[in-house]
């Protein structure tokens, strides 16, 4: 947890869950860094928290291999579970909990928001995967096997963001992607948008023309300004 300066445990603070949660990843460490989370905590009085659940690395093989051949399951469930734990803390405003992530974190954010958990008010997904058949085979098949009936097609089909479109009616969602993303192709976000439109879900979207997965240059400043406005609006901050 990154706590605001002069933190007062008698007050109620909004919480933003900063997630990645990809296979063998690590979000929580002891490294010092200045980031968007630093700004949100120091300037906007928002607690920013992260959690390494099942599927993450450096906590033993049982935890790391828990999501083998089942991406979009336990790592998603664990982010919801930890948010529920946070909501029980006396200094957390349980009605102002949000989640955000980039790349795999955008996928997990989208799967979480589409779960119908009732825990999160809003969330931001940047450059998210939406269907594993759309991602590159050297990564996807390493963790999911083959998308054929004789192997793991069932889990491929059950792990799409689009299948959860109806549940997005209960949350505020900001979807962001660069149109020139050569890692997570723009198709992934376009399919989420299509599914949400078909389900008559009101959501926000921002496309960065000719920008790749990192969304660099002037757009990098723009994306963080835009996300800050969205989070402040979600949390009803001035």
Bridge partners (DSSP) listed for residue 178: 208
What 3-state DSSP class applies to 182? coil
Residue 181 annotated among the catalytic residues of the structure? yes
What does the alpha-carbon distance between residue 231 and residue 122 come to, in Å, rounded to a whole number?
A: 8
Which of these is catalytic: 50, 56, 103, 110? 103
Residue 78 annotated among the catalytic residues of the structure? no
Residue 229 annotated among the catalytic residues of the structure? no
Which of these is catalytic: 65, 213, 222, 226? 213
Which of these is catalytic: 78, 115, 181, 185? 181
Q: What is the DSSP string of 25-56?
A: -----S-----HHHHHHHHH--EEE----TT-
Task: Give the number of other CB atoms < 10 A from CB of residue 84.
Answer: 14
Q: What is the DSSP string of 102-145?
A: ETHHHHHHHHHHTTT-S--SEEEEES----GGGS-HHHHHHHH-
Give CA torsion, residues 192, 198, 204, 209, to 10 deg: 60
What does the alpha-carbon distance between residue 31 and residue 3 come to, in Å, rounded to a whole number?
A: 16
Task: State the catalytic residues.
Answer: 103, 181, 213
């Amino acid at each position: 947890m990154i706590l605001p300066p002069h933190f007062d445990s008698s007050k109620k603070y909004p919480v933003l869950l900063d997630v990645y949660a990809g296979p063998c990843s690590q979000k929580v460490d002891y490294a010092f860094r200045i980031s968007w989370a630093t700004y949100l905590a120091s300037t906007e009085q928002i607690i920013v928290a992260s959690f390494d659940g099942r599927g993450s690395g450096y906590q033993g093989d049982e935890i790391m291999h828990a999501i083998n051949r089942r991406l979009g399951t336990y790592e998603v469930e664990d982010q919801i579970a930890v948010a529920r734990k946070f909501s029980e803390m006396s200094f957390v405003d349980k009605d102002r909990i949000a989640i955000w992530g980039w790349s795999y974190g955008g996928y997990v954010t989208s799967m979480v928001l589409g779960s119908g958990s009732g825990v999160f008010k809003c969330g931001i997904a940047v450059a998210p995967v939406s269907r594993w058949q759309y991602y590159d085979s050297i990564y996807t098949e390493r963790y999911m096997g083959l998308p054929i009936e004789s192997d793991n097609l069932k889990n491929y089909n059950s792990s799409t963001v689009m299948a959860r479109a109806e549940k997005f009616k209960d949350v505020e969602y900001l979807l962001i992607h660069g149109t020139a993303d050569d890692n997570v192709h723009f198709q992934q976000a376009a399919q989420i948008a299509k599914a949400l439109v078909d389900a008559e879900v009101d959501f926000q979207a921002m496309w960065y023309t000719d920008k790749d997965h990192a969304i660099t240059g002037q757009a990098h400043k723009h994306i963080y300004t835009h996300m800050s406005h969205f989070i402040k609006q979600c949390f009803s901050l001035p």
